Chains A and B, each alone.
Chain A
Amino acid sequence: MRNPQLNKNGELQHLLSLDGLPLSILGAILDIAAPFTEVAEREVKKLPLLRGKSVFNLFFENSTRTRTTFEIAAKRLSADVINLNVSTSSTKKGETLLDTIDNLCAMQADMFVVRHESSGAPYLIADHLHATGRNHIHVINAGDGRHAHPTQGLLDMYTIRHFKKEFHNLIVVVVGDVLHSRVARSQLAALTTLGVPEVRVVGPRTLLPTDVERLGVRVCHDMNEGLRDADVVMMLRLQNERMNGALLPSPQEYFKVWGLTPEKLALAKPNAIVMHPGPMNRGVEIDSTVADGGQAVILPQVTFGIAVRMAVMSMLAGN
């Protein structure tokens, strides 16, 4: 079966998911991202790689950080960036997703950065472009439903490698609402591909997928046990809309059991790093002392996110 992310030469054509992405390509993205971090320190923070290319940011779901960092990444590569405010556009008037894409293709789009509340929407677009022979146009998934958020997964891996150098000797813990999290799915796929020997997922039964062990991870329903000797603690955002349903009693209750406090973090290795994809709910999944503390690498994650997105865009546009 054709891998929808790769072209006929086995090169990256679209970035849709980290699940099924070969280790060689995943590693190449992380390697290529490293020199892009240096561009931010220059007088002229621009590279000519995407000069003359049009990148369309298509966000069918709200986002600030992801959309902004994609925009900065594309602009630092000299692309023309068009942000579409989809909530006020033709979609509201009944236009289908693929009709929107066809119209933007008629405006000579070179790349689509897509966020959509439906899992699989970026696949649908990539498949449509393939079926209509428009193989020079690239799609990047910026988060689809509960499925995947590959660039977040990549920037998390870049952050881990930056601080821990290697993957093969780590204990990595993912804490929180794995069930609803596309970030967690991308993280778990990447951690497994990169050969992390022990990946734990920690959270209440109601927020962990029933068959999560099949992803090659260890499941812990006890926060203390889950954090013990960890090298990397990756917190997930607890989405507000989950709090008042049947899944959780209250934010306060959640924080008491699953919130990351200095006391709980002390169970991890002394040099463990704490990550969070943002936006954070202080006092719900993470205590402010930890979020602002010396072990948190949450802001470096954001900075690295720009370099990683530059790497992905320049790899795609060159293939």
Chain B
Amino acid sequence: MPIELPNAETLLARLVDQIRPNLSERTALVGIHTGGAWLAERLHRLLGIKAALGTIDVSFYRDDYGSRGLHPRPQRSDIPFDVESADIIIVDDVLYTGRTTRAALNELFDYGRPGRVDLAVLCDRHGRELPIGARYCAFTLPQPLPASRSLRLSRDATGTLSLRLIDA
């Protein structure tokens, strides 16, 4: 049976509603390349967050480096605000095993000691392999996806976001 995916723009609006009541002076966003960075860019604008937007590429912190080698074309991580004591929300498109979040946390702590770190995701597809959960999550798939399928966020020329399923 084909899985019906919700509209990503609707989910984004839901995420904004979830995060807004908890914003503080110290809130800062860090998007994980690439889908999470697109989302963070939109959230940053919609929520009117003062701290400059951060982006992170976890290629250098992945735990599968030993078996799979270095991922090709890693992006530059950019944390343009002071991490010390900041309330950071890590933003990613899809939450799956939790290994990407683990890598992002490790990288973040190499910049300083944040006051608090939360996770915001558009979609939770189940399949966690680490004790990680998202404080903000716009949608949880009713059933786990098989490992052979990959759920990805894409962005068209107008900047509109959409979720799609592909064979991994």
Which of A11, A34, A43, A47 has a CB less than 8 Å from the CB of B61? A47
Residues of B within 8 A of A228 (CB): none
The 6 A-B residue pairs with the shortest CB-CB distance in the complex, in nearest-first order: A318-B69, A44-B110, A35-B76, A318-B70, A47-B60, A35-B74
Judge if B18 is at the interface, Cβ distance under 8 Å. Answer: no
* Closest A residue to B110 using CB positions: A44
* A48→B68 contact, CB < 8 A: no
Find out whether the CB atom of B60 lies under 8 angstroms from the CB atom of A49: yes
Interface residues of B in 58-89 (CB under 8 A from A): 59-61, 65-66, 68-70, 72-78, 83
Contact among A32, A42, A44, A318 with B65 in the assembled complex (CB-CB below 8 Å): A318
Per the 8 Å Cβ criterion, residues 6-50 of A in contact with B are: 11, 28, 31-32, 34-35, 37-38, 42-44, 46-49
B-side interface mostly: loop
**Which of B60, B68, B77, B111 is A43 in contact with, Cβ under 8 Å?**
B111
Q: Is the CB of B70 within 8 A of A49?
A: yes
For residue B150, CB closer than 8 A to chain A, the reply is no
Interchain CA distance A263-B69 in the complex, whole Å = 49
Residue ranges of B at the interface with A (Cβ–Cβ < 8 Å): 57, 59-61, 65-66, 68-70, 72-78, 83, 106, 109-112
**Which of B75, B76, B77, B111 lies in contact with A44, CB distance below 8 A?**
B111
Closest residue of chain A to B77, judged by CB?
A38
A319 within 8 A of B: yes
Please report the C-alpha to C-alpha distance between residue A44 and residue B74 in the assembled complex, in whole angstroms.
19
B34 CB, min distance to chain A CBs, angstroms:
14
Question: In A40-88, which residues have CB < 8 Å from any B CB?
Answer: 42-44, 46-49
Q: Are B70 and A32 in contact (CB under 8 A)?
A: yes
Given the known interface contacts A34-B76, A35-B77, A314-B70, the answer about A46 and B110 at a Cβ–Cβ threshold of 8 Å is yes
Given contacts A34-B76, A38-B77, contact A11 B60 (CB under 8 A): no
Q: Is the CB–CB distance between B69 and A28 below 8 Å?
A: no
Query: Does A35 contact B111, Cβ atoms closer than 8 Å?
Result: no
Q: Given A32-B74, A35-B77, A38-B77, does the pair A318, B110 have CB atoms closer than 8 Å?
A: no
Contact of B70 (CB < 8 Å), options: A37, A43, A46, A315: A315
Given known contacts A42-B110, A314-B70, A318-B68, what 19 new A-B pairs fall within 8 Å (CB)?
A: A31-B72, A32-B72, A32-B73, A32-B74, A35-B59, A35-B74, A35-B75, A35-B76, A38-B76, A42-B111, A44-B109, A44-B111, A46-B110, A47-B60, A47-B61, A48-B60, A49-B70, A318-B66, A319-B69
Between A and B, 26 residue pairs with Cβ closer than 8 Å are A11-B69, A28-B72, A32-B70, A32-B72, A35-B57, A35-B59, A35-B60, A35-B74, A37-B76, A38-B77, A38-B78, A42-B111, A43-B83, A43-B111, A43-B112, A46-B110, A47-B60, A47-B61, A48-B61, A48-B106, A49-B70, A315-B70, A318-B65, A318-B68, A318-B69, A319-B69
